[in-house]
Amino acid sequence: MTAAFLSHIDSELAGLKSAGLYKSERVISSMQSAQIEVGGEKVLNFCANNYLGLADSVDLRQAAAQALDRYGYGMASVRFICGTQEEHKELEATISSFLGLEDTILYGSCFDANGGLFETLLGEEDAIISDALNHASIIDGVRLSKAKRFRYANNDMADLEARLREARDCRFRLIATDGVFSMDGIIANLKGVCDLADKYDAMVMVDDSHAVGFVGKNGRGSAEHCGVEGRVDIITGTLGKALGGASGGYTSGKRQVVDWLRQRSRPYLFSNT
């Protein structure tokens, strides 16, 4: 790298520090839990997404150890070449059954699931109408797509309807929203979203990473909480929050949609399982 480029980066970093935006990582020397050890001190942890306290669960750790003994450490391959095991298929079927959807495809993370969704399903004749406070993974995923992009104010159904009117001449319309917005804890008005989707012949995609596992009477997420199960077309989520705190993400929906993602979704096709 050139000295000029490194000097530029140093200047940018200094700017972050002076603005109070520089992020330092705290090193945890214990398991993730409600109480953790940082810098030799035990402190209470109020900033993890370990909603059900499963990250240090004895049962999960024992199951993981048994899986390592049976299957080894990793597949060292993408799934369609030589990387799919029975455990992957069982997990996909379990997630589908739990969410009440037809099929599920696993990813390395929900960021990958969202990154590989929009460009795979939609083209330049189509439209994505996205909530202004959606997660960065949805924003980046939408950017990868050639579809027309519309943004509506957070949870504002009047603004969403206005954007749907703007997009009414597009071939397909997909409304994208978080189920629970991670920074503020706002639960999306999914009934309003689904009602407008019906009115304007649009589809609905929900990232439920901050909901599945503990939101809703049976923990099925924001769709259950809002009473719109069966009306949300695509649900993406993570295994790294309420469901244990490790890695992994998924996209669930109609069988044909998931089948197409297996054929064309780049984070799935070009990442090790």
Q: What residues are labeled active site?
A: 182, 210, 241
For residues 223 and 27, the answer to whether their CB atoms sit within 8 Å is: no
Whether 231 contacts 42, CB under 8 Å: no
| Residue 91 burial by Cβ neighbours in a 10 Å radius (0-12, 13-18, 19+) | middle
Instruction: Describe the crossing of helices 157-166 and 190-199 by its angle, rounded to 10 degrees.
Output: 30
Whole-number Å distance between alpha carbons of 174 and 172: 7
SS3 of 27-57: CECCCCCCEEEECCEEEECCCCCCCCCCCCC
Strand partners for 35: 44
In the chain, helix, strand, coil percent, each to 5? 40, 15, 45
C-alpha distances in Å from residue 140, one per residue of 16, 19, 111, 118, 119: 22, 25, 9, 10, 11
For 19, the token pair is: 């603005």
Torsion sign across C-alpha atoms 216, 217, 223, 227: negative
Contacts of 13 (CB under 8 A, 6+ apart): 22
Radius of gyration, alpha carbons of the chain: 20
